[in-house]
Amino acid sequence: MSDTGASYSNTPKEVENGWDLFRRLTNSLVIVPTGSASVDEATGGGLWAGEVTELVGELACGKTQLCMSTIVQMFLRDKGVRRSMAVYLDSNGSFRSSRLVEILRRKKPHVSDEEVSDLLSRVLVKRVSDDTELSKALLDVQKLCQHASILMLIVDSVGGCLSGTAAKMDANGRKCQKKIIRQLRLLAREHCMAVVTVNHLVYWTGKMRPALGQIWMSAPHTRLRFLREHDGHINVRLINSQRQQCYARSGECQLTESGVVDLPDFQPADATFNQSHLSHSTLLERIFAGDSQIS
């Protein structure tokens, strides 16, 4: 596959005032690790609350497995204080509760049956098949946020749900996509939620690009491209971000019974950016230091 990272850069047209910007970035004190320190380094710590992150790649390249691993990481670091929950909107039957349990037992060998039940009770799964069902489900999630602490929302796959809107990109299709984008961003921003969309690649205007067309290109705040290499390892590259520069930011990981994990020879960087250790004042210093990727 040819390197198409630069062609993905596309600044969203969403208008955001100074207070919304500050709240979105500082609310991201909650960053959910993916299970791979290498991938976390590429993303600035993991999946950020307050943002929409898209995982894009060909079939069977680890996108759904990263979602599963991240849910388990959320559970393990929560320690029962917040009782954070995840909502999984499944359009293709990818979700497997047995896989979540397998990852948890590998990560924590002496896990109790009560902890397994607690994990499964915190993951709400709903099947959606098209843009109408997806939009309704997102409205239900917004209502649920009034009495539940939802930290993660996963749409797997958004390409499947919205395929009808892209098949014939007429005025109605564009309207549907824009509505979904607004709903996803509202949930991320207003409810301090890490929103994750899973998408596939299509051959479009001579290059491999995320499915769903030009409007969707600017939907996520962050986009990660997954590529399975010849040795079975997975390269995860940051190809679009409003928060940080994307040049040469990538991580290498592998799929195991423990989920998405680092390669055996991985050496962490000396100064990994960890948002959870930053104060609001330090964040403001970063924001106003001239980072052109933040908008």
Write down the pLDDT at residue 238.
93
- Per-residue pLDDT at 81 exceeds 90: no
The whole-number pLDDT of residue 286 equals 40
The C-alpha atoms of residue 160 and residue 102 are separated, in whole angstroms, by 27
Q: 273 near 31, Cβ under 8 Å?
A: no
- The torsion angles phi and psi of 120, rounded to 5 degrees, stand at -65, -30
d(CA 148, CA 109): 29
Query: What are the tens digits of pLDDT across the range 88-103?
Result: 999 999 999 999 999 9
Q: What is the pLDDT of residues 169-227, one digit of tens each?
A: 678 889 999 999 999 999 999 998 999 999 999 987 788 899 999 899 999 999 999 99
Above 80 in pLDDT, residue 67? yes
pLDDT, one tens digit per residue, over 233-292 is 999 999 988 887 766 689 999 999 999 999 998 888 754 444 443 433 344 444 344 333
Domain 16-287: assigned CATH number: 3.40.50.300
pLDDT tens, position by position, 21-52:
655 555 546 789 999 999 999 998 899 999 99
User: What pLDDT does 8 receive?
Assistant: 35
pLDDT above 90 covers a percentage of the chain that reads 63
The residue written with tokens 């047209």 in the block is 13
Return the pLDDT at 55.
98
The residue whose two tokens read 């984008």 is 181
What phi and psi, each to the nearest 5 degrees, are found at residue 225? Answer: -100, 130
Give the residue from 1, 32, 36 showing the smallest Cα distance to 252: 36
pLDDT at residue 168, as a whole number: 64
| Residue keyed to tokens 């915190």 | 122
Q: From 227, 96, 47, 67, select the one nearest 155 (Cα to Cα).
A: 67
- What's the whole-model pTM score? 0.82
Q: How confident is the model at residue 136, as a pLDDT? A: 98
In this prediction, residue 20 carries a pLDDT of: 61
Q: What does the mean pLDDT of the chain come to?
A: 83
Instruction: Provide, rounded to the nearest whole percent, the portion of the chain with pLDDT above 70.
Output: 78
Residue carrying structure tokens 């040049």: 247
CA distance 249 to 239: 8
At 118-166, the pLDDT tens digits run: 999 999 999 999 999 999 999 999 999 999 999 999 999 999 999 988 8
Contact partners, residue 113, CB within 8 Å, separation at least 6: none
Question: In what order do the strands lie in the sheet containing 194-199?
Answer: 123-127, 85-90, 150-156, 194-199, 52-57, 222-228, 234-241, 250-256, 259-262
